[in-house]
């Protein structure tokens, strides 16, 4: 499935149906009077966040969404039916933005099942029966029905993940996410193997969390160099970042500075999020050299530097421990047992 994280669509709610102009004409009813019914209300445009979707690819092939208009009123006091609402299903984490220069945020769908009436359908017009009064016994006016609302909007998807992987190309992010989850991310010995965000569910010490891997960052990514920084929006909602650094490159400290500068340049509070600095590819260097590079990163300002190997799994459990410490504790898991599983991971029927 192709990954698409933004799309522009046109939406329009249904117009209200017109009211009817009608008079009773039964043979034995004298002075029958008006009996035109009201028109029906137009359908609403509703956005709904559903589980099981992680891309906006469907909106590449369908960009126009129009709700049904209300049915017109008829004689014999028959009111028109309401137009059907149009429900647009989007992935959880989708934002609806205005089609302006600022891309103003109009709606943020962050929970499964969340439904929001975005555009309300127009009200139906009044039939001539509703205009009858003591001084107007045979009204011929009617309401045409109120028009619906229409607008262009942008849909932007920001994946919901608990932790995010950042780093320069070839830092080993895909290897890491494959090591800790069942994600089958592409791995290659060349830059930008990852061209779209990947999500993986990590299970560690009887707890689960979602890990997001985004394409690598290079110097100038905020200005569009490389793949740019457009995918950084997918880690805005993360509570902690895992910063992977390739220990075999010429200057790991400089690589750490470059990624931190790009996060600060992007904004949205990414540079303020807690980071776990994981010095990767420890299986290719000896222990003393890894310790020396870790000390250099610590002297440069990096905190919580952990030497790991994404290929062999060395040190990965310690990184996952740090992630769990940063995430909110699950109810019922602190100092107690949940579903028969204790904190140490052992199961008991009691």
Residue 311 assigned to a binding site: yes
Residue 136 assigned to a binding site: no
Distance (Å, whole) CA 59 – CA 3: 11
Residue 169 assigned to a binding site: yes
How many H helices and E strands in the chain? 5, 14
Residue 1 assigned to a binding site: no
Residue 283 assigned to a binding site: yes
Structure token pair of residue 117: 């009436």
Q: Within 13 A of 31's CA, how many CA atoms are on the CB side?
A: 3
Distance (Å, whole) CA 18 – CA 194: 55
Residue 83 assigned to a binding site: no
Distance (Å, whole) CA 206 – CA 42: 50
Residue 227 assigned to a binding site: no
Centre a 10 Å sphere on the Cβ of residue 318 and count the other Cβ atoms it contains: 15
Residue 128 assigned to a binding site: no
Residue 282 assigned to a binding site: yes
Residue 348 assigned to a binding site: no
Residue 267 assigned to a binding site: no
Residue 317 assigned to a binding site: no
Residue 122 assigned to a binding site: no
3-state secondary structure of 322: helix
Residue 310 assigned to a binding site: yes
Residue 245 assigned to a binding site: no
Query: Which of 338, 310, 336 has its CA nearest to residue 207?
Result: 338
Residue 309 assigned to a binding site: yes
Mark residue 103 as left, alpha or beta (left: phi above 0; alpha: psi -120 to 50; beta: remaining). left
Residue 45 assigned to a binding site: no
Residue 168 assigned to a binding site: yes
Which DSSP string do the residues of 85-131 spell out, in sequence order? PEEEEEETTEEEEESSTT--EEEEE-STT-EEEEEPPPPPPPPGGGG
The residue assigned the tokens 């019922």 is 332
Which DSSP string do the residues of 156-219 spell out, in sequence order? EE----SEEEEESTTSSHHHHHHHHSS------SSTT---S-EEEEEEETTEEEEEEE-----T
Binding residue positions for GTP? 167-174, 213-216, 280-283, 309-311
Binding residue positions? 167-174, 194, 213-216, 280-283, 309-311
Binding residue positions for Mg(2+)? 174, 194
């Amino acid at each position: 499935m192709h990954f698409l994280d933004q799309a522009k669509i046109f939406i329009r709610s249904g117009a209200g149906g017109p009211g009817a102009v009608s008079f009773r004409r039964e043979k034995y009813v004298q002075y029958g009077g008006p009996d035109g019914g009201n028109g029906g209300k137009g359908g609403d445009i509703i956005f709904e966040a559903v589980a099981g979707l992680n891309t906006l690819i469907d909106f590449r092939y369908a960009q126009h969404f129009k709700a049904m208009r209300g049915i017109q009123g008829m004689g014999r006091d028959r009111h028109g039916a309401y137009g059907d609402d149009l429900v647009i299903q989007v992935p959880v984490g989708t934002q609806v933005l205005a089609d302006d220069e600022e891309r103003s945020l109009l709606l943020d769908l962050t929970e499964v099942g969340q439904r929001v009436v975005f555009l309300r359908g127009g009200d139906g017009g009044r039939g001539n029966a509703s205009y009858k009064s003591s001084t107007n016994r045979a009204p011929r006016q009617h309401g045409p029905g109120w028009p619906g609302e229409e607008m262009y909007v942008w849909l932007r998807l920001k994946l919901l993940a608990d932790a995010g992987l950042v780093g320069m190309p070839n830092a080993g992010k895909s290897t890491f996410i494959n090591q800790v989850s069942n994600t089958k991310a592409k791995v290659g010995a060349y830059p930008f193997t990852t061209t779209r965000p990947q999500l993986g569910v990590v299970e560690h010490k009887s707890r689960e969390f979602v890990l997001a891997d985004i394409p690598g960052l290079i110097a100038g990514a905020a200005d569009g160099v490389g793949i740019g920084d457009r995918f950084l929006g997918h880690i805005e909602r993360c509570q902690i970042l895992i910063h992977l650094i390739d220990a075999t490159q010429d200057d790991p400290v400089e690589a750490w500075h470059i990624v931190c500068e790009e996060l600060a340049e992007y904004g949205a509070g990414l540079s303020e999020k807690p980071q776990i600095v994981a010095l990767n590819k420890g299986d290719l260097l000896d222990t003393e050299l890894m310790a020396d590079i870790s000390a250099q990163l610590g002297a440069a300002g990096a905190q919580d530097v952990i030497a790991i190997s994404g290929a062999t799994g060395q040190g990965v459990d310690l990184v996952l421990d740090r992630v769990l410490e940063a995430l909110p504790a699950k109810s019922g898991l602190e100092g107690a047992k949940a579903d028969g599983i204790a904190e140490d991971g052992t199961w008991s029927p009691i």
